[in-house]
Amino acid sequence: MSQLIKVPDIGDFSDVPIIDIYVKAGDTVALDDALVTLESDKATMDVPATAAGVVKEVLVKPGDRVSEGSPLIRVESGVPAPTESKAAESVPARQEATPVSAPMPTPPPSSPPPSTGDGASSLSPGGKVHASPSVRAYARELGADLSRVTPSGPNGRILKEDVTAWVKGILTVPGTTTAGASLGGGLDLLPWPKVDFSKFGDIEVRPLSRIQKISGQNLARNWVMIPAVTYHEDADITELEAFRVQVNKENEKTGEAKLTMLAFLIKASVRALQKFPTFNSSLDGDNLVLKKYFHIGFAADTPNGLMVPVIKNVDRKGIVEIARETGELARQAREGTLKPGDMQGASFTISSLGGIGGTYFAPIINAPEVAILGVNKSALKPVWDGKAFQPRLTLPLSLTADHRVIDGALATRFNVCLAQLLADFRRVTL
Ligand code: CAO
């Protein structure tokens, strides 16, 4: 007997995109197996099988938009499922579309880091969570928000042990238990002010995007938990910019990738990290984990929010390759096609607002990294050379460092070193 499984009652939602499909023609499904995941801007819901049998036809594809009653899958079942074919054809009870992360809970200010964290989940992919129905059920049972769990499975899939590790991470972070709070580890803050703004004038309520919600939670944690200080420096990039412009002019004829200031900054930062290894580390309890690899994250502004793709093994790459790769990853970030692996493993991050403007700012560290470099727009400034003021192209640098690991003297030495590397790029090769 052939049965059509349709989208059940999903409350006020309609025209909701399908983000994941778990079955294909030929698969056998049991009653209540998750078939597809729908994602509205407020909620992510699994649609369970309301009939058991063999999948004959999948009538949708990822990205299709569906509403209550839209046909999803045709199932052939020899024996009618316990809930009867009526359940498949009729609209099931509203709760049968199982919320996976709806709505995202607001974390406490001291929301803990994922225990397996390498920053992967902090700015995670265009919102897609890949996990099998059993892992989703396990996460639901434990109350784990899958969008915050760092995946370790193939193709960015979240495994059961990833969920376990995430939950263990919460239980081991000081200050998240009542005992911790009473010892001074918790933040005893007033509740967030609740104001009816419409009393004062017209308003419009606009839900945050999924990426904004995920990155917001991570930024809040990092802001509250890291004793961070920002140090400023000016780098003289007069010669470097002249060189960049000259090479780009030459490359116009050959079609070679355009060299960006960001690519030079990434390369120079890695040289500085090699000289100051503490900046390429992470805190792990009483230990400092010093990384021998140089993977640099860079903040990318996208229509959906802030994302941080990662250029791997920068120490082994040239400027042209770095420029090409940052351009490609930034494009993918804007199009929402970055893979989870493209955003994992950063050991240091650069946030460049140089294309927009600004003078200096205080970027927030992307935990569990210990430092982040902010860059603004270069400007011509008068610099005294002992006899006269000379116009020099000056790049404003803002380095935020975790004071538990890096003190002010070290941070300033790092900044001075970086500024020297940028002022005379030949030093990068020394
Ligand atoms: N000073 C002066 N000009 C600069 C500059 C700098 N520091 N950096 C870039 N520019 C120029 C570029 O040369 C380019 O000019 P042309 O078009 O004439 O060549 C223009 O500004 C645009 O650059 P861009 O920002 O688009 O490109 P990029 O390679 O410098 O940066 C990327 C790429 C992905 C970092 C950038 O597009 C971006 O998203 N930046 C925002 C990051 C962000 O949001 N950070 C904040 C995080 S905390 O909220």
Model confidence pLDDT, tens digit, residues 280-290: 999 999 999 99
Give the least confident one: 8-12, 292-296, 322-326.
8-12
**Burial of 132 (C-beta count, 10 Å sphere; 0-12/13-18/19+):** middle
Q: Is 395 in the pocket of ligand 1 (CB under 6 A)?
A: yes
Q: Ligand 1, closest atom to CA 302?
A: 39
Residue 403 falls in the annotated catalytic set: yes
pLDDT band, very low/low/confident/very high, at 143 (cuts 50, 70, 90):
confident
The per-residue pLDDT for range 8-18, each reduced to its tens digit, is: 988 777 888 89
Q: How many Å apart are CA 127 and CA 105, to the nearest integer?
A: 15
Q: Is 375 in the pocket of ligand 1 (CB under 6 A)?
A: yes
Q: How many Å apart are CA 309 and CA 209, to the nearest integer?
A: 18
Q: Give strand pairing partners of 234.
A: 396
Q: How many Å apart are CA 322 and CA 260, to the nearest integer?
A: 9
Cα-only R_g, the chain: 26
pLDDT band, very low/low/confident/very high, at 173 (cuts 50, 70, 90):
low
Q: How many Å apart are CA 430 and CA 428, to the nearest integer?
A: 6
| End-to-end C-alpha distance for the chain, whole angstroms | 74
Rounded to the nearest 10 degrees, what angle do helices 319-335 and 261-275 cross at?
110
pLDDT above 70: residue 86: no
What's the whole-number mean pLDDT along residues 21-39? 87
Ligand 1 midpoint to CA 354 (Å)? 5
Q: Whose CA is nearest to atom 5 of ligand 1?
A: 354
The per-residue pLDDT for range 342-359, each reduced to its tens digit, is: 999 999 999 999 999 999
pLDDT of the residue at 106:
30
Average pLDDT, the chain: 84
pLDDT above 50: residue 109: no
Q: Is 235 in the pocket of ligand 1 (CB under 6 A)?
A: no
| Catalytic residue chosen out of the listed positions 130, 232, 295, 403 | 403
What's the whole-number mean pLDDT along residues 56-68? 92
pLDDT of the residue at 263:
98
Q: Is 378 in the pocket of ligand 1 (CB under 6 A)?
A: yes
Q: How many Å apart are CA 358 and CA 419, to the nearest integer?
A: 18
CA nearest to 112, candidates 228, 220, 227, 229: 220
pLDDT above 90: residue 276: yes
Q: Is the peptide bond before 368 cis (omega within 30 degrees of 0)?
A: yes
Q: Whose CA is nearest to atom 11 of ligand 1?
A: 355
pLDDT above 90: residue 299: yes
Q: Supply 37's token pair.
A: 């995941």
Percentage with pLDDT > 90 across the chain? 57
Give phi and psi for 348, each to the nearest 5.
-160, 150
Q: Is 217 in the pocket of ligand 1 (CB under 6 A)?
A: no
Give the least confident one: 29-33, 89-93, 97-101, 368-372.
89-93
Q: Whose CA is nearest to atom 7 of ligand 1?
A: 354
Residue with tokens 């690991």, as numbered in its chain: 405
Q: Is 240 in the pocket of ligand 1 (CB under 6 A)?
A: no
Percentage with pLDDT > 70 across the chain? 84
Q: How many Å apart are CA 316 and CA 313, to the nearest integer?
A: 6
**Burial of 231 (C-beta count, 10 Å sphere; 0-12/13-18/19+):** buried
Compute CA 375 distance to the chain's CA centroid, rounded to the nearest angstrom: 20
Pocket test for ligand 1, best of 237, 328, 332, 352 (most atoms within 8 A of CB): 352
CA nearest to 411, candidates 403, 422, 419: 403
